[in-house]
Structure 1
Amino acid sequence: MALSDAKLRNLKPRSERYQEADEGGLFIEVMPGGAKVWRLRYRLAGKQEKVTLGDYPAYSLSEARTWRDDCKALSGRGLSPMALKRGDAIPDDLAVTVKERAQKFIADWCMQVCKKVEAKEAEARAASTVKAFAERWFSEVAEPSNSNPRNIRRILDKDVIPGVGDKQIADVTVTDVLAITDAIKARGADQSALQTRNVMKRLFAYAIARELTRFNPAAAVEAQFIATAKSRDVALTSDEVGKLLRAIYQSSMKRANKLGLHLLILCMVRKSELIEARWDEVDFDEAVWSIPGERMKKDRPHIVPLSRQALAMFDELKGLSSGSEFIFPSRNTLKKPIAHSTLNVAVRTLDLDVRDFVLHDFRRTASTLLHEAGFNSDWIEKCLAHETKGIRGVYNRAEYIGHRREMLQWWADFVDAQIEEGRKVIIGRFGKAYRAA
């Protein structure tokens, strides 16, 4: 049976030397000390001779077979490879043949080396693309050092990799960074554009540390050129809540978006938790909305007791969702929810006599006004899906469902009261059954 590279690698020394044959008289001899020596047996003028090439792996299997063929060609012409190796003179015509073979061998070897070098260079280039390095940075730095890395993952997948993923890290320019942030701003998401710039700044800082580039194009873009960082302490007054909801319902935006914005206020959930919601999460009989842990910031399931108003809104949305599994399906396909920027863009189209705010401030608004109304802080924190620390958290297993249901019903009624004369526009087709006391 012919030898193979795998078999050659696995040959182990024994107490005495032994041989393993290939073909055509070629064999490998394994020494007790572990050396593996190529040798060849051939016949010349009726007598057997043996000649040695050298050690494996200094000479590969393919090289040994080429040497075997050359030796057999010599013996076929009546010349002894063993004598020639000792230094005996080589006939002129044969010397030309040997020289040509040697030149071809060197040329083939050089070609193989060049191909290996090119393959390594291609591998290095692939590893230093933005896409490949972003994966490395996320796994080595971003994911271990952030309690909630999903937002960074989303930024990379949604904007950074589609924008410059195929580029070499060292080739990304300031213009590339601005093209990405400008596209995000065009969606009406200035703060997301600023967050994306910050993620890219950290990504390129790590690339510099790894000596893949000397320049951080994201750091060269001043934050103020993208968006003004907003204070996170904005809470609307009760009067502003009324003005905002009247403006929403009197606008030309889609009815589902109007109800979605209203539900953000009433349910005190995050925007992503609302727009990715599915119908199998809502129990109309029990009047609860159960959000699975994988869609929550802290990866813990969250239950939202639904007020009569919120339940009526979900009932109306059921008819607007066209049979989709999502409560807020995309207008392009029922198999996906609306985009993360949809509600932001809808609010930006409004002519509001209200201070600048972002949708996340609805949660702070609800928290502030409920605290001012004297409700228990633990109930409010549980509605916000904030984790209660210490002993209070230990005795929090019931999650205050009954208390939270009463509080959220009060909150829905309070929000209704702020709408003043816009009530008919707001309530719309919510249904009398849900409005009953």
Structure 2
Amino acid sequence: MALTDVAIRSAKPRAKPYKVGDSLGLFLLITPAGGKLWRFKYRIHGKEKTLAVGVYPEVGLADARRRRDEARQLLLDGKDPGVEKRRAKVRAQMEASNTFSTIATEFCQKRKRDGQKRWAPATATRSEYLLSLLNGSIGRMPIAEIEPIDVLAAVQRIESEGKLESARRTLQLAGAVFRYAVATARIRSDPTRDLKGALTSPSVTHYGAILDPSRVGELLRAIEGYDGQPISKLAMQIAPHVFVRPGELRHATWEDVDFDNALWTIPAAKTKMRKDHLVPLSRQALTLLKQLHGLTGPKGYLFPSMRTRARPMSDNTINAGLRRLGYSTDEMTAHGFRATASTLLNESGKWHPDAIERALAHGESDKVRAAYHRGAHWNERVAMAQWWSDYLDTLRRASKA
């Protein structure tokens, strides 16, 4: 006879456990302590087994029968309900441990050692920081449970603080983490894929740069009169001659500099394009580097931090020096030395545009063309480096009038 709620409530404990049957293999196990446990008895592959389906009254009669029916359906599909229950438990535990922050950390570690595509140190630091902004919102959530609205709310908090570019980049990075989770079979789809256009687009801003030759001369004279830290001054003096990216300058080490061959090799790991970049050094650049060598050589960073030689100088050091000299962010920045060189070298009409682009370490989409021009313009780049330094000297020495 099938059980009823009245019969279940009336069942009293005995000295030993006993069963009260329902139907189709479902029964209630009454323990001496008064516990009432739902069990489902079934047979598979010739073996009789018992599946725990809940505890009364948390699981009522109707729910117990529903769970029994689900187990019976698994049997019809040739699956063992007990095995499937254990799998579901393991899967739930894995999903609970696979939080967004856990997967994000794993993703960042992968990108930092990802061959030619690996992040530069500065990119890794920035990306890890931006992803950490999500720790308080979706960071502890199992990644499989995160929905588009959760991500949107998280990045909109950043946007509401006026950090439009940070919000945009954080959403991009979150999408990369979700796609990594898809690729590693942790989730089925990326919840950020339908969020394009949801954030306010930041205004495009360009790095402040001085492009007028006479004003470049004024800048060089101002740097020459800088009375701050000697290492900071040398950084500002060297930057115009080599016009590399600020991060590449900051992370340069003495092992990268070959004085005998007047060559600075920036390893692929330190470049934006993930390719070795060779910088020919003019006589002026070599002179400045030798002065710097007396302060920070012979090992480690060319421009170490003021606090410890184990880290490079701050990414704000050159910009802070320029501000101290009276140049606003709109007028001149550390990155602006590249725009200055690019503009004036092109305007001189003396150098092939490809040689200038190669000196700036800009990427070349055509791999065959890139391989050809890397070698074809080397001699021109060496000559151009010396001409450029001589030209800077001419501008620096020019009358302030």
* TM-score of Structure 1 vs Structure 2, range by shorter chain: 0.5 to 0.7
Partner of 1:230: helix, strand, or coil?
coil
The aligned counterpart of 1:259 is 234
The aligned counterpart of 2:300 is 325
Given that residues 322 and 332 in structure 2 are in contact (C-alpha distance below 8 angstroms), is that contact kept between their aligned partners in structure 1?
Answer: no
Q: How far apart are residue 354 of structure 1 and its match? A: 9.0
1:106 to 37, 41, 53: 37
Is 1:97 the counterpart of 2:16? The answer is yes
2:248 to 252, 273, 280: 273
Given that residues 266 and 278 in structure 2 are in contact (C-alpha distance below 8 angstroms), is that contact kept between their aligned partners in structure 1?
Answer: yes
Unaligned runs of 5+ in 1: 1-93, 183-192, 424-437
Unaligned runs of 5+ in 2: 1-12, 20-28, 40-51, 56-81, 179-187
Partners in 1 of 2:158 and 2:173 — Cα distance?
12
Q: How far apart are residue 379 of structure 1 and its match? A: 2.3
The aligned counterpart of 1:401 is 378
Is 1:177 the counterpart of 2:147? The answer is no
2:391 to 411, 414, 435: 414
- Letter of the structure 1 residue corresponding to residue 263 of structure 2: V
Q: Which moved more, 1:344-353 or 1:110-119?
A: 110-119
Partner of 2:169: helix, strand, or coil?
helix
Given that residues 291 and 303 in structure 1 are in contact (C-alpha distance below 8 angstroms), is that contact kept between their aligned partners in structure 2?
Answer: yes
- Letter of the structure 2 residue corresponding to residue 404 of structure 1: R
- Letter of the structure 1 residue corresponding to residue 158 of structure 2: V
Is 1:284 the counterpart of 2:254? The answer is no
Please give the root-mean-square deviation of Cα atoms over the aligned residues, in Å.
4.7
Q: How far apart are residue 261 of structure 1 and its match? A: 2.4
1:360 to 330, 335, 344: 335
For 1:14-413, list aligned pairs within 5 A.
Answer: 96-99=15-18, 102-103=30-31, 106=37, 110=54, 123-130=94-101, 132=103, 153-161=124-132, 164=135, 166-168=139-141, 170=150, 173=154, 177=158, 195-203=165-173, 222=200, 228-231=203-206, 236-321=211-296, 324-352=299-327, 356-373=331-348, 374-387=350-363, 389=366, 393=370, 395-396=372-373, 398-413=375-390
Partners in 1 of 2:192 and 2:164 — Cα distance?
23
- Letter of the structure 2 residue corresponding to residue 201 of structure 1: L
The aligned counterpart of 2:78 is none
Q: How far apart are residue 229 of structure 1 and its match? A: 2.8
Q: How far apart are residue 262 of structure 1 and its match? A: 2.6
Given that residues 148 and 298 in structure 1 are in contact (C-alpha distance below 8 angstroms), is that contact kept between their aligned partners in structure 2?
Answer: no
User: For the structure 1 residues 137 and 307, does the alpha-carbon distance in structure 2 shift closer, same or farther, using more than 3 Å as the test?
Assistant: closer
User: For the structure 1 residues 124 and 399, does the alpha-carbon distance in structure 2 shift closer, same or farther, using more than 3 Å as the test?
Assistant: same
Given that residues 148 and 297 in structure 1 are in contact (C-alpha distance below 8 angstroms), is that contact kept between their aligned partners in structure 2?
Answer: no
Over residues 333-380 of structure 1, what are the superposed CA-to-partner deviations in whole Å (9 max), with x where a residue is unaligned?
A: 211212333323333343128953443232122122112222222322
Partners in 2 of 1:377 and 1:215 — Cα distance?
41
Q: How far apart are residue 173 of structure 1 and its match? A: 4.6
Q: How far apart are residue 277 of structure 1 and its match? A: 0.7
- Letter of the structure 1 residue corresponding to residue 131 of structure 2: V
Given that residues 271 and 359 in structure 1 are in contact (C-alpha distance below 8 angstroms), is that contact kept between their aligned partners in structure 2?
Answer: yes
User: For the structure 1 residues 152 and 394, does the alpha-carbon distance in structure 2 shift closer, same or farther, using more than 3 Å as the test?
Assistant: closer
Partners in 2 of 1:411 and 1:213 — Cα distance?
47
User: For the structure 1 residues 252 and 178, does the alpha-carbon distance in structure 2 shift closer, same or farther, using more than 3 Å as the test?
Assistant: farther
Q: Which moved more, 1:161-170 or 1:100-109?
A: 100-109
- Letter of the structure 2 residue corresponding to residue 279 of structure 1: W
Given that residues 244 and 354 in structure 1 are in contact (C-alpha distance below 8 angstroms), is that contact kept between their aligned partners in structure 2?
Answer: no
User: For the structure 1 residues 311 and 162, does the alpha-carbon distance in structure 2 shift closer, same or farther, using more than 3 Å as the test?
Assistant: farther
User: For the structure 1 residues 149 and 331, does the alpha-carbon distance in structure 2 shift closer, same or farther, using more than 3 Å as the test?
Assistant: closer
User: For the structure 1 residues 349 and 234, does the alpha-carbon distance in structure 2 shift closer, same or farther, using more than 3 Å as the test?
Assistant: closer
Partners in 1 of 2:373 and 2:192 — Cα distance?
51
Over residues 225-251 of structure 1, what are the superposed CA-to-partner deviations in whole Å (9 max), with x where a residue is unaligned?
A: xxx531369561112212222333434
The aligned counterpart of 2:48 is none
Partners in 1 of 2:371 and 2:297 — Cα distance?
43
Given that residues 263 and 281 in structure 2 are in contact (C-alpha distance below 8 angstroms), is that contact kept between their aligned partners in structure 1?
Answer: yes
User: For the structure 1 residues 407 and 133, does the alpha-carbon distance in structure 2 shift closer, same or farther, using more than 3 Å as the test?
Assistant: closer
Partner of 1:419: helix, strand, or coil?
helix
Q: TM-score, length-normalised on structure 1?
A: 0.56
- Letter of the structure 1 residue corresponding to residue 354 of structure 2: D
Name the larger-Rg structure: 1
Q: Percent identity over the alignment?
A: 26
Q: How far apart are residue 115 of structure 1 and its match? A: 11
Partner of 1:106: helix, strand, or coil?
strand
Partners in 2 of 1:120 and 1:107 — Cα distance?
23
Given that residues 324 and 334 in structure 1 are in contact (C-alpha distance below 8 angstroms), is that contact kept between their aligned partners in structure 2?
Answer: no
User: For the structure 1 residues 243 and 282, does the alpha-carbon distance in structure 2 shift closer, same or farther, using more than 3 Å as the test?
Assistant: same
The count of residues paired between Structure 1 and Structure 2 equals: 312
Q: How far apart are residue 415 of structure 1 and its match? A: 0.9
